[in-house]
Amino acid sequence: MGDYWSSVETDKSVAPRAFLVGLRRPDEPQEFAEAMLEELHELVGTLGVEVGGEIIANLREVNPRYLVGSGKMEEIAAMAKGMGCNLVIFDDELSPAQQRNWEKDSALRAIDRQEVILDIFASRATTKEAVLQVELARLQHQLPRLKRLWSHLDRQRGGGVMQRDAGEKQIEMDSRLLREKISRVRAELDAVVSQRATQRKQRRRVPVPTVAIVGYTNAGKSSLLNRLTGAQVYAKDQLFATLDPTTRQLALPSGRKVLLTDTVGFVRRLPHKLVEAFKATLEEAVQADYLLHIVDISSPEYESHLRTTEEVLGEIGAGKRHIIPVFNKTDLVQDPLVLRYAKELHPDAHLVSVHSGSGLDALLAYIDKLVASRDEEFSLLIPHDHYDLIGRLHKEGVIHEEKFLDDGVRLEVVVPPRLRALVLPYVVKE
């Protein structure tokens, strides 16, 4: 599993076999803890790691040494070993000290949900920006855990006072080198982000309304982009199938055009380092005119998924954008009462199935209506020597009628707000 295994694995021939630990706090229902553990199961499966067993532990208070109590730690370690597991994965954040204590006292490797997500992101990033963002998040995650990695190496060498002293000095050197690398990656990422901002500004010079697709991971965002635009974005029934934003032009029923962007999916307990690192990618959502919030209505956890996405949108500053709720995968819902209840709770939501195409025409018509509400219709007479403006109206407006006359070109055209000042001198006064 990524850098973790390359740094601490002692026997490369031993494949990881995981024991999953879900945690239930006093104020959380059992169903929530079960759903979170099932999601952790999916995340671990995405990495191809075999799961040998699992448990949900009641967490009345956080134990600073092991996260769970010492008795529960011994119980979990015994269960994991009895099931042939060499790795314990917690569905909660382990502090660096808790991780070291677990591995020292249980003789099992221990990681948390955050490290699993970081590994998934590292395996999926393809664009330069995404690779840099993941690398930055991983370096920041690794920095406070250097001592843990060195304790593994000491055990492999057999330990000893002199070796520990050498390790202490090496940790200081590694820490300095790691901080320098973080600074370099940040600088490189800033340059890439600046380049993206320039590209975004250039798109705004030929401004077309922008629509960003957001939502919980595996809700069908990439499939929606592919269905509506004919794009070939990778879309698979798994968590975090795509990380990099993809933008395609979409023609609406009236002929108006918008730019449609697919974004990275959200997940509960997303590492804050990744939220911060991916703010640049998610700026597509922050800057968009409209957000399509895709929700998998077939999931029993859809309300929780919806709230998670809303929380992350709030964190990145996109919570006040015009959000259009879209409940996808209606074809997988067996009980019609589920759809009726969802519609009662969210009357502005669109019920669709990207797979069958149901509801997509109504959704496009709604987006078209929103975009049209910003436009005005004009009768124009544009002189023949202003064909540049005519060409721009063809590209950015909607031409209903065009006649070539001796004194110019007569147009019946829908004009977006950004072009209003340009066309006003050519308005035909009836």
Q: How far is residue 400's CA from residue 117's CA, in Å, rounded to a whole number?
A: 50
Q: Which of the residue ranges 113-117, 268-272, 291-295, 329-333 would you say has the lowest mean pLDDT? A: 268-272
Q: Is the pLDDT of residue 276 over 70?
A: no
* Residues 348 and 218 sit within 8 Å (Cβ to Cβ): no
180 and 224 share one domain: no
* Nearest one of 265, 266, 274, 228 to 247, comparing CA atoms: 228
pLDDT tier for residue 417 given thresholds of 50, 70 and 90: confident
200 and 215 share one domain: no
Please enumerate in sequence order all residues whose Cβ is within 8 A of that of 393, keeping only pairs 6 or more positions apart, or say none: 380, 399, 411, 413, 415, 419, 423
179 and 143 share one domain: yes
Residue bearing the bigger pLDDT, 319 or 354 = 354
357 and 247 share one domain: yes
* Residues 88 and 80 sit within 8 Å (Cβ to Cβ): yes
Residue bearing the bigger pLDDT, 359 or 301 = 359
Question: In DSSP terms, which residues pair with 53 in a beta bridge?
Answer: 19
Q: b/e map of 192-213 (b: 16 or more CB within 10 Å)?
A: bbeebeeeeeeeeeeebbbbbb
The string of pLDDT tens digits covering residues 126-171 is: 777 778 888 888 888 888 777 655 454 444 434 443 344 544 566 6
The string of pLDDT tens digits covering residues 326-382 is: 999 999 999 989 999 999 999 999 999 999 999 999 999 999 999 888 777 889 999
Q: Last residue of a domain, which of 205, 232, 260?
A: 205
- State mean pLDDT over 32-43: 90
The CA-based angle 307-345-311, given to 5 degrees, is 10
The string of pLDDT tens digits covering residues 70-119 is: 999 999 999 999 999 999 999 988 999 999 999 999 999 999 998 888 88
Please enumerate in sequence order all residues whose Cβ is within 8 A of that of 160, keeping only pairs 6 or more positions apart, or say none: none
pLDDT tier for residue 180 given thresholds of 50, 70 and 90: confident
Phi/psi region, residue 107 (left: phi>0; alpha: psi -120 to 50; beta: rest), is left
- State mean pLDDT over 281-297: 82
259: which DSSP letter? E
Both tokens assigned to 335: 């009980």
- State mean pLDDT over 281-299: 83
Tell me if the pTM is above 0.75. Answer: no
- Look at the block and give the residue holding tokens 């209903």: 400
What burial class does residue 110 get, using C-beta atoms within 10 Å of its C-beta: 0-12 exposed, 13-18 middle, 19+ buried? buried
Residue bearing the bigger pLDDT, 406 or 417 = 406
Give the per-residue pLDDT at 63: 93
- State mean pLDDT over 306-311: 88
404 and 422 share one domain: yes
188 and 217 share one domain: no
292 and 395 share one domain: no
The string of pLDDT tens digits covering residues 1-32 is: 544 444 334 444 568 899 999 999 998 899 98
Give the per-residue pLDDT at 289: 87
Q: Last residue of a domain, which of 154, 183, 205?
A: 205
pLDDT tier for residue 231 given thresholds of 50, 70 and 90: low
CATH number of 67's domain:
3.40.50.11060
Q: Is the pLDDT of residue 255 over 90?
A: no
Give the per-residue pLDDT at 107: 92
Task: Identify the top-confidence range among 83-87, 235-239, 267-271.
Answer: 83-87
251 and 327 share one domain: yes
Q: Last residue of a domain, which of 372, 392, 417?
A: 372
Give the per-residue pLDDT at 345: 92
Q: b/e map of 277-316 (b: 16 or more CB within 10 Å)?
A: bbbbbbbbbbbbbbbbbbbbbbbebbebbbebbbebbeeb
19 and 91 share one domain: yes
166: domain range? 125-205
Q: How far is residue 307's CA from residue 363's CA, in Å, rounded to a whole number?
A: 22
Q: How far is residue 236's CA from residue 222's CA, in Å, rounded to a whole number?
A: 9
Give the chain's mean pLDDT.
82
How far apart, in Å, are the Cα atoms of 347 and each of 61, 221, 320, 426?
A: 40, 21, 19, 43
**Percentage of the chain surpassing pLDDT 70?**
80
Give the per-residue pLDDT at 147: 62
> Side chain identity at 64, as an amino acid letter?
P
Give the per-residue pLDDT at 200: 60
Give the per-residue pLDDT at 411: 93
Q: Which of the residue ranges 33-47, 155-169, 416-430 would you say has the lowest mean pLDDT? A: 155-169
DSSP 13-69: TS--EEEEEEEE-TTS-HHHHHHHHHHHHHHHHHTTPEEEEEEEEE-SS-BTTTBS-
In the chain, how many domains are there?
4
Both tokens assigned to 100: 């070291």
Phi/psi region, residue 11 (left: phi>0; alpha: psi -120 to 50; beta: rest), is beta
197 and 257 share one domain: no
Q: How far is residue 242's CA from residue 223's CA, in Å, rounded to a whole number?
A: 11
39 and 141 share one domain: no
Whole-number CA gyration radius for the chain = 27
339 and 194 share one domain: no
